[in-house]
Amino acid sequence: MHRMKGRIQFKGEGNRMTVHRYDPASLHADEFINHDEILETLAFAQAHKDDVGLCREILKKAESHLAPAKDHCAVITHREAAVLLACDDAGINEEIRRLAHRIKLAYYGNRIVLFAPLYLSNYCVNGCLYCPYHAENRDIPRHRLTQDEVRAEVVALQDMGHKRLAIEAGEDPVHSPIDYILECMRTIYSIKHENGAIRRVNVNIAATTVEEYRMLKEAEIGTYILFQETYNRERYEELHPTGPKSDYCWHTEAHDRAMEGGIDDVGLGVLFGLEGYAYEFTGLIMHAEHLEAVHGVGPHTISVPRVKPAMDIDPDAFDNGIPDDVFDKIIALIRIAVPYTGMIISTRESRSVRERALRYGISQISGGSRTSVGGYTQEDRPHDTEQFDVSDQRTLDEVVAWLMDNDHIPSFCTACYRAGRTGDRFMQFCKGGQILNYCHPNALMTLMEYLVDYATPATKEKGEAMVRRELLKIPNEATRARTERYLSDIAGGRGNDFRF
């Protein structure tokens, strides 16, 4: 309807001119994230932002997501989503928020998946101007965890109650080669402390080769996560003056290589604040459209970090910061435009920001996080090696209790990953609304595990009441009965790790 497929972009290369035509199915970054297409999209959005009738037409189109179907991709285009983003009408903005909330419930219910980041190394050869790990920072203490230190960190995380980790490492071929990452994954999966276990390891490391992605797949990676940082190529090259990450195309095309290497689930994200938010939002939706067009599977997750203070980094140095109300709207529109994706918000954001974001589309959050190398084994929160300041510093137990106070089920579930419901198989369940028949009982069982093994008495009492209420919402009588038996076994210490 409003997409301009076939838009041509010219880029000079020496004495030659390379033609880049917008094509979401291309494997070339300058074609599926086409600068001129984004500029035309933003111009179209500005020209139509006051057309309330068009905005309501787009929202009506998106309402089809309230009845998920297996053949659903993104019903609205990046151009239509950009119109909604540009619209200032208070009534339309309220309709956006309400629809986003309803779509989130249609796909993910009231469950919120919990995870923690685990920083392995802050050695880095890149020159990213927004990250304290950049190679020119001589003040930050550098450290790489040994395998004994990895074990200690994992035990500390298991003692909190975590089952799912996202491992992070700076790009450094000497200190953090792929063999080191693989060894850390093996170590993490091997640790079974008391009743603890890490059941899914997501990996957030630099763009790499198809061969190395195959190695990650063989090591049982969960989701491969890579943030674009910014989709504006000129701005990207300014912000990444040195190091292998300075290659825009190599970085932007990494998710395609990961999927070629057999990784089913990939995660997108931009660092809001580096470039104008409308440009980044449009590029992000176009990237999701590209993955659908090429692989038939969109992003498993989309993350929405904002630039935050850190050692040697002042967010005020970047003049594209976005206020909370615009941030809320971006989250809501990502949920509307890419309804099937898991949406992640980290402890970069405050409790109040995260509380609103959960309503508008977020389905995964971190809890009890530390963003420093070796931070979980230290009694006091270390700040000298943090990648960013942590705004929400509550314990995992406090986060779990807060979620339940807001009628969200805290979920530590990893069943889909371990049952092989990944990639297109996950999307078939999710887009068809069938994933709710699995995730609701699985969430309750993993919550019960947490309550039995890790919760404070007040949180346990609150959680047991929630489990009793939510158990009644399982529509299938046989599934409800099995879930009740499993819950009884978990509560009685007769077993755990039950799943559908």
Helix, strand, coil percentages for the chain (3-state, nearest 5): 50, 10, 40
The packing angle between helices 90-108 and 324-337, to 10°, is: 50
DSSP code, position 65:
G
Q: What is the pLDDT of residues 101-132, one digit of tens each?
A: 999 998 899 999 999 999 999 999 999 999 98
Query: How confident is the model at residue 1, as a pLDDT?
Result: 39
What is the distance of C-alpha 434 from the center of its chain? 21
**Three-class DSSP labels, 325-384:** HHHHHHHHHHHHHCCCCEEEECCCCCHHHHHHHHHHCCCEEECCCCCCCCHHHCCCCCCC
Among 66-70, 191-195, 328-332, top mean pLDDT goes to 328-332
pLDDT of 386 strictly over 60: no
Contacts 24+ apart (CB under 8 A), 149-152: 149/374, 149/377, 150/118, 150/120, 150/184, 150/187, 150/188, 151/187, 151/191, 152/377
Query: How confident is the model at residue 422, as a pLDDT?
Result: 77
Q: What is the pLDDT of residues 245-298, one digit of tens each?
A: 999 999 999 999 999 999 999 999 999 999 999 999 999 999 999 999 999 999
Alpha-carbon torsion angle 151, 219, 348, 106, nearest 10:
-130
In the predicted model, what is the mean pLDDT of the chain? Answer: 90
Length of the chain: 500
- CA Rg, the chain, in Å? 22
Lowest mean pLDDT among 104-108, 145-149, 161-165, 171-175: 104-108
Beta bridge partners of 169: 121
Task: Report H helices in 161-268.
Answer: 178-190, 210-218, 233-239, 248-252, 254-260
Q: Which of 414, 404, 454, 268 is nearest to 343 (CA)?
A: 268
Cα distances (angstroms) measured from residue 395 to each of 381, 398, 420, 456: 12, 5, 32, 11
Of 271 and 427, the one with more pLDDT: 271
Using alpha carbons only, give the angle 346, 349, 354 rounded to the nearest 5 degrees.
Answer: 80
